[in-house]
C-alpha cells in the first residue's frame, strides 16, 4: 500500500473511532453549539463593537458595530475548530501514549508521518463539520448571515485547524499523563479564548496585547473576516494567516523535537 493510501486508511479509522466515541464527539461539537444557543438567544438583536472600544454614548470607536450574532457565529465556529483540533486531539493522543497504542504502532512498519497524517486529517474533517454545523444553526435560529467568503473561510479553517493540531501535539510533550491532559488543555485555551474576545468584546488593551501573541486571537480574526463580520472586500487577511503560519512552524519544530511515543517510565 502506498503511504497516501495508508494515511487515508488511518483517517477513516480515526473518523470511525471519533464518531463512535459519543462523549468526545459531544464535547467537540456540543460545547460551541451550546454556547451559541445560550448567548445567541440572550444577545439576539443586540450589537457588538468589534476591534474597537465603546464610547461614552455607546458608539463604537475605532471598530465595527455589527449584530451580535454576526460576530458570535464565526467566533463559536472558531472555538469548535480549536476544540476538535487542539483539545480533543491532544487529550486523545496523550491517552494513547499512556495506554501503549502509540508504542504498539511503532512496532509496525506504519510510517510516523502516515500515522500523524491520519489523526490530522481526521481532526480537520471534524473541524469542517463543526464549522458547517455552527453556521447552519446560527443562520436558522439567529438569522446570522452565511459566511460571506466561503473560500477564505475554508482555508482559514484548514490552516487554523492544522496549526492547532501541531501545537497540541507539541503540548503533549509537557503533559505528564492522560489525567492531566484536560486540565492542561483548558488552562491553555480558556483564558486565551476570553482575552481574545470570543464571547464578547474585550477591550482591555493589556489583555488584547497579550492575546495578540497567541494564535487563538488571530484565528478568530481570520474567521470573522472570512465570515464577513469585519469589513473586507476579499475575505482574506494576510496578517492573520501569516501569524497562524508562524505558530504552525514553531509547533511543528517543537513537535518533531519533543514528541514522545510512550509515557515516561515510572
Partner 1 sequence: MADIDVTGLVKRYGHVVAVDGLSFSVQKGEVFGMLGPNGAGKTTTLEIIEGLRAPDAGTVHVLGTDVLAHPGTVKERIGVQLQATALPDFTKVREAVELFAALYRQARPVAELMAEFNLEEKADAYTDKLSGGQMQRLSIALALINDPDLVFLDEPTTGLDPQARLNIWTVIEGIRQRGKTVVLTTHYMEEAERLCDRVAVIDRGHIVALDSPRHLIAANAAGTTVEFARVPGLDVEALRKLPGVDRVVADGQVSLTTRTPEVVLHALLDPQAPWAGAGSAGGDGEGEGMIRDLVVRHGTLEDVFLSLTGRSLRE
Query: Which residues sit at the interface with partner 1, rule CB under 8 A?
Result: 1, 6, 9, 13, 16-17, 20-21, 96, 99-101, 103-111, 265
Which of residues 115 and 164 has its CB atom nearest to partner 1 in the complex?
A: 115
CB of 210 to partner 1, least distance (A): 37
Nearer to partner 1, 20 or 57 (CB): 20
Shortest spacing between CB 9 and partner 1, in angstroms: 5
By CB neighbour count within 10 A (0-12 exposed, 13-18 middle, 19+ buried), where does 41 fall?
exposed
Q: Choose between 99 and 234: whose C-beta lies nearer to partner 1.
A: 99
Nearer to partner 1, 24 or 193 (CB): 24
**Contacts for 234-241: CB closer than 8 Å, 24+ residues apart:** 234/149, 234/152, 235/148, 235/149, 235/151, 235/152, 235/153, 236/149, 236/152, 240/156, 241/155, 241/156, 241/159
* Least CB distance to partner 1 at residue 260 (A): 12
Q: Rounded to the nearest whole angstrom, what is the least distance from the CB of residue 16 to partner 1 in the complex?
A: 7
Please, what is the minimum distance in Å from the beta carbon of residue 107 to partner 1?
4
* Smallest separation (angstroms) from partner 1 to the CB of 109: 5
Q: Quick one: which of 116, 122, 89 has its CA closest to 15?
A: 122
Dihedral angle at the C-alpha atoms of 256, 239, 66, 211, nearest 10 degrees? 50
51 vs 98 by CB, closer to partner 1 = 98
User: Given the complex with partner 1, which of 209 and 262 has the nearer CB atom?
Assistant: 262
Nearer to partner 1, 100 or 150 (CB): 100
Least distance in angstroms from the C-beta of 262 to partner 1: 8
Amino acid at each position: 500500500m502506498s503511504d497516501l493510501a495508508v494515511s487515508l486508511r488511518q483517517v477513516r479509522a480515526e473518523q470511525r473511532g471519533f464518531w463512535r466515541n459519543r462523549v468526545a464527539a459531544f464535547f467537540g461539537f456540543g460545547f460551541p453549539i451550546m454556547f451559541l444557543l445560550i448567548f445567541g438567544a440572550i444577545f439576539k438583536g443586540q450589537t457588538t463593537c468589534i476591534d474597537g472600544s465603546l464610547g461614552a454614548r455607546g458608539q463604537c470607536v475605532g471598530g465595527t458595530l455589527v449584530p451580535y450574532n454576526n460576530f458570535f457565529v464565526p467566533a463559536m465556529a472558531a472555538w469548535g475548530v480549536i476544540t476538535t483540533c487542539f483539545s480533543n486531539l491532544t487529550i486523545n493522543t496523550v491517552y494513547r501514549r499512556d495506554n501503549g497504542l502509540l508504542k504498539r504502532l511503532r512496532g509496525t512498519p506504519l510510517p510516523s508521518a502516515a500515522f500523524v497524517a491520519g489523526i490530522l486529517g481526521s481532526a480537520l474533517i471534524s473541524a469542517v463539520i463543526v464549522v458547517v454545523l455552527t453556521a447552519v444553526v446560527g443562520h436558522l435560529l439567529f438569522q446570522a448571515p452565511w459566511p460571506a467568503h466561503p473560500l477564505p473561510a475554508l482555508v482559514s479553517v484548514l490552516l487554523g485547524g492544522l496549526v492547532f493540531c501541531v501545537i497540541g501535539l507539541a503540548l503533549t510533550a509537557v503533559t505528564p499523563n492522560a489525567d492531566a491532559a484536560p486540565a492542561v488543555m483548558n488552562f491553555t485555551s480558556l483564558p486565551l479564548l476570553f482575552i481574545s474576545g470570543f464571547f464578547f468584546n474585550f477591550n482591555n488593551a493589556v489583555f488584547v496585547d497579550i492575546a495578540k501573541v497567541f494564535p487563538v486571537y488571530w484565528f478568530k480574526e481570520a474567521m470573522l473576516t472570512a465570515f464577513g463580520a469585519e469589513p473586507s472586500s476579499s475575505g482574506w487577511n494576510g496578517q492573520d494567516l501569516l501569524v497562524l503560519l508562524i505558530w504552525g512552524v514553531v509547533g511543528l519544530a517543537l513537535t518533531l523535537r519533543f514528541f514522545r511515543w510512550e509515557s515516561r517510565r515510572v
